Structure 1
Amino acid sequence: MDTLMTVAELKDRLDAGTRTVLLDVRWALGDPHGREHYLEAHIPGAVFVDLATELAGPADPSRGRHPLPPLEQFQQSARSWGIRNGDVVVAYDNTGNLAAARLWWMLRNAGFPSVALLDGGLAAWRDAGFDVDSGEPVVERGDVVLSDGAMPEIDAAGAATWSRNGLLLDARAGERYRGEIEPIDPRAGHIPGAVSAATTGNLAADGRFLPAAELRERFAALGVRAGVPTAVYCGSGVTAAHEVAALEIAGFSAALYPGSFSEWSNDPANDVVTGAAPGARQSRRTSAG
């Protein structure tokens, strides 16, 4: 299935009564009111997905701020959203799919291929003049059976050596990559060898993904090319999934580091470097307490 679905394509499906499980992943760093935003206005029929509790386990310094939940827990959540085997799932949010991509990646990783991101999300739906609903729909429980390991991923050990033979992309904002600020994690900077590739660079001003050709140019300029293994991390494995989706649109495959910098920076054995260059301008091996 294509990575993206347009609002026109979604509207046609809904108007035709074609079974579609629509999931609203309203979440943004620093905004804990996703459910309230959803209840105020969402695409008709959409079910709310809580990223913090349904797409992540409890924060754990050894696994990061948003560790992947156990498979059985994720399967139960997917069933509670109404997903059945053979369904088409469309996920969206109101922040350029920076959160919804986490759900897209998790379903794909769980062996569920028929999932797409709604390009432009709720804003694009509203800009098209389509109606929104408030409140919460009644959901008939699904029976989907999920698996694990269908998408490539790496762990901290892999991230430590990845840049020797491949390309490691850091999807966080440039100032966090450079170590100028770090509002959340215990140390500022980036994994040695990683290249800065802020996720926001995947999007146009209207919150839609850039065209595939433009994304290919962007990633090629960062060193992505056939034959070079690529992996992506961010702060806690959420927006890095957006980068994996953007790379897929561009025609590239990439592995995700789910623990990301929140896991990496909590281990004092891991070096963290600062500055604009991938290598060490200022290396620090300090306590993560």
Structure 2
Amino acid sequence: MNSLFKPLLPLAALVLAACSSQPTPEQQQTQDDSYDRETAGGRYSLRQDKAPAVAPNLDHVKDAIPRYEPYTRQGNKDYNVWGQDYEVWQDVESYQDEGLASWYGAKFHGYHTSNGEVYDMYTMTAAHKNLPLPSFVRVTNQENGKQVIVRVNDRGPFHGGRVIDLSYAAAYKLGMLNTGTAPVKIELIKLAPSGQEQQLAQTGKGNGKVIQLLAIRSGEKARELATQLSKEYGFPARVERKAEWYRLQMGPIPGNKTQATLSRLVADGYEQAYFIN
């Protein structure tokens, strides 16, 4: 790890459960370099994910746009995976590292990441062992010089020498889908909140925030919930479709009511609700 940071210290054990799924018979095949994500407690397999049978053209996908975002409540505590303690860098200001990047895709598409968001393999995101969530990093493929900017919202990869686990879209843009891994350089992009952002947070003014409540495969159920929630909460609720998934969202919600609304949603059973802007 980069010399800017002290060695990781033994910490209280906390296993993060992130986007686990029932393995298919193909996924249950024994391989020398694979682990079982179910028994390991999350999205931590070392087996390389497979690309879709028909690879989509993702040239239109844009880099993540770095911005100031408060760290999420979920996924930012020190944790333990397979007996190894990991420290979350709460106050990191600068960070660079080099090593192997890997990627993950269809097996975990639609499941929750370590900070409670829904993993979308077609967006520019990534997993890192130590950076606070969310963070933004620039990733450079040292074999071909291609660069991307991704938003880190997950934990991993837990494999010797690998420094970042990229979404399918990010791996596509870096030209590393076929090789599975690539030597990369990663650089943290850290932005402080602007004076205007601080003022808006204090006054509750601005354009408001949108909360994503869940993603399900039933469009009918998602629309039924949207109608019900709009009446109960007094804010507009909508359904967005991404492939086979229907995302239930609410907002915009005024800044002075966002936290209270999120807390109420969590208490009402939407435990994975989170702000998407």
TM over 0.5: no
Please identify which structure carries the higher strand content: 2
Q: Which has the higher contact order (CA 8 A, sep 6+)?
A: 1
**TM-score, normalised relative to structure 2:** 0.29
Please identify which structure carries the higher helix content: 1
**TM-score, normalised relative to structure 1:** 0.28
